[in-house]
Amino acid sequence: MNILLLGSGGREHALAWKIKQSKHCHHLYIAPGNPGTTTLGENVAMDLSDFNAIAEYCKRNDIQMVVVGPEDPLVNGIYDYLKSDVSLKNLIVVGPSAEAAKLEGSKAYAKAFMERHGIPTAAYREFTKENFEEGKQYISQHSLPIVLKADGLAAGKGVVIAASHEEALATFQEMILDAKFGEASARVVIEQFLTGVELSVFALTDGHEYVLLPEAKDYKRIGEGDKGLNTGGMGAVSPVPFAAGDFMQKVVDKVVKPTIAGLSSEKLVYNGFVFFGLINVDGEPFVIEYNCRMGDPETEVVMPRLSSDLVELFISMDKHTLGSQKVIFHEKAAATLVLVSGGYPESFEKGKLITGLDSTFADHTIVFHAGVKQSGEQLLTNGGRVLAVTSYGNHIPEAVETSAAAIQQIQYDGKYFRSDIGYEFRQ
């Protein structure tokens, strides 16, 4: 079949890499894609907020499947838009409806959903301008630290963990009264701080049945030892050793199954990935957040560790037969190290010449492009996160070392990466 993949990051390069290997994939188009995806399919210049242009492109190019990478088009209703077009009625769209995508698009919606279905999550209250004074009162009596979350999408910046009541009150005021994140912070969720180790679990579902994909752990802080500012993700590993056995069974029983049953009982239309952002609190899983898409950089380890044919799983999702699918995971570990621009996640320069990508890497290393731009024959940095270098290994440290060795061959001005990815899992 002809497949259109939407997005342009490392996540989409990894999805394209996996989709291209499917026996069901004929032509692969990536919109807008990046220089890395040109080796796997045809990049198509497209504005992902222009749903009409996407629908017309599907008709003109006989597209049978659309895979949506990022959350914005999903939250804005691309699923519903494409599915409401009668001439696209057989199109498989991988992603939830706008209503179901609120699980990511509205923190308050997600919390209420979890409460309705008894899914473990931090205790919370939500506030707007209307009950602002009550919110101040709530904060002043809250234990420290206090977690404040802008309700809507805020490009990953809408969560503040305040160490003092003063900071929490100031943040609360900025979000609600000063509209720090515009409409997204008109409503604020205040929740209990949970202490534990985070991990990301992924399911593919048709809203009734599901399969699990390999789990992953990402490393969000810029500095080694998990210090410094939050980023979009500095690396990821899979598998996550503590997720085996009992803990994973609890994740399935207490989180995954009740979530899918909740989607089903509430008749939410969902045909795509559910990303469970979890925290392990003394052996018990709690949901920190839902996302309605794959994670980045988790996808750069999850796709390499998925041995099953991804497009076949999408087709099975469409046929409502996921319940009988056996998903096969690669037995090796995978680690991705993200190369970023100097200065990121604060201000950084773009347009630096990247060299060494034509080096011979270990044959179990894959270099995924993220913030990279082609200029004639040259590749230039074009974002904070530039490349994601994934390697397989017999265990996590070996995979990390192999990626670190590949990174030595790649150069650009201001190159920075964390070499301690997976540090907790070193023997």
User: What is the token pair recorded at 185?
Assistant: 């912070």
Instruction: Provide, rounded to whole angstroms, the least separation between the CB of residue 156 and ligand GLY.
Output: 6
CA distance 43 to 66: 14
401 interface partner picked from ligand GLY, ligand AMP, none, CB below 5 to 8 A per type:
none
Residue type, 206: D
Asked if 226 is part of the footprint of ligand AMP (rule: CB under 6 A), the reply reads no
Chain positions contacting ligand GLY, by CB under 6 A: 218, 233, 291, 295-296, 298
Residue 342: count other Cβ atoms within 10 Å of its Cβ. 13
Asked if 104 is part of the footprint of ligand AMP (rule: CB under 6 A), the reply reads no
- DSSP code at position 356: -
CA distance 264 to 285: 22
Check if the beta carbon of residue 342 is closer than 8 Å to that of residue 414.
yes
CB of 15 or CB of 153, closer to ligand AMP: 153
Mark the segment that binds ligand AMP (CB under 6 A) among 167-175, 189-197, 203-211, 312-320: 189-197
Which of 85, 167, 198, 266 is the binder for ligand AMP (CB under 6 A)? 198
Asked if 191 is part of the footprint of ligand AMP (rule: CB under 6 A), the reply reads yes
CA angle, 51 as apex, 276 and 274 as ends, to 5°?
Answer: 10
CB of 108 or CB of 288, closer to ligand AMP: 288
CB of 291 or CB of 402, closer to ligand GLY: 291
Which of 51, 132, 193, 416 is the binder for ligand AMP (CB under 6 A)? 193
- DSSP code at position 269: -
CB of 37 or CB of 336, closer to ligand GLY: 336
Instruction: Provide, rounded to whole angstroms, the least separation between the CB of residue 295 and ligand GLY.
Output: 3
CB of 219 or CB of 412, closer to ligand GLY: 219
Which own/partner contact pairs does 43-51 have at CB distance under 8 Å and 24+ positions apart?
44/4, 46/6, 48/6, 48/7, 48/72, 48/73, 48/78, 49/73, 49/76, 51/76, 51/77, 51/78, 51/81, 51/82
Residues 152-171 that bind ligand AMP (CB under 6 A): 159
Asked if 147 is part of the footprint of ligand AMP (rule: CB under 6 A), the reply reads yes
Asked if 120 is part of the footprint of ligand AMP (rule: CB under 6 A), the reply reads no
Main-chain dihedrals φ then ψ at residue 13, nearest 5 degrees:
-60, -40
Which of 288, 337, 386, 407 is the binder for ligand AMP (CB under 6 A)? 288
Helices (H), 190-345: 246-250, 257-265, 299-302, 310-318
Tell me the C-alpha to C-alpha distance, in Å, between residue 217 and each of 16, 168, 305: 21, 28, 13
Instruction: Provide, rounded to whole angstroms, the least separation between the CB of residue 116 and ligand AMP.
Output: 19
Residue 22: count other Cβ atoms within 10 Å of its Cβ. 19
Query: Under DSSP, is residue 399 helix (H, G, I), strand (E, B) or coil?
Result: helix
Number of residues that bind ligand AMP (CB under 6 A): 10
122 interface partner picked from ligand AMP, ligand GLY, none, CB below 5 to 8 A per type:
ligand AMP
Which of 105, 277, 345, 384 is the binder for ligand AMP (CB under 6 A)? 277
Beta strands at 28-32 and 42-43: parallel, antiparallel or unpaired: parallel
Main-chain dihedrals φ then ψ at residue 367, nearest 5 degrees:
-105, 115
Instruction: Provide, rounded to whole angstroms, the least separation between the CB of residue 71 and ligand GLY.
Output: 8
Instruction: Provide, rounded to whole angstroms, the least separation between the CB of residue 11 and ligand GLY.
Output: 7
Which of 93, 150, 194, 337 is the binder for ligand AMP (CB under 6 A)? 194
Instruction: Provide, rounded to whole angstroms, the least separation between the CB of residue 14 and ligand AMP.
Output: 20
Q: Which residues bind ligand AMP (CB under 6 A)?
A: 122, 147, 159, 191, 193-194, 198, 277, 288-289
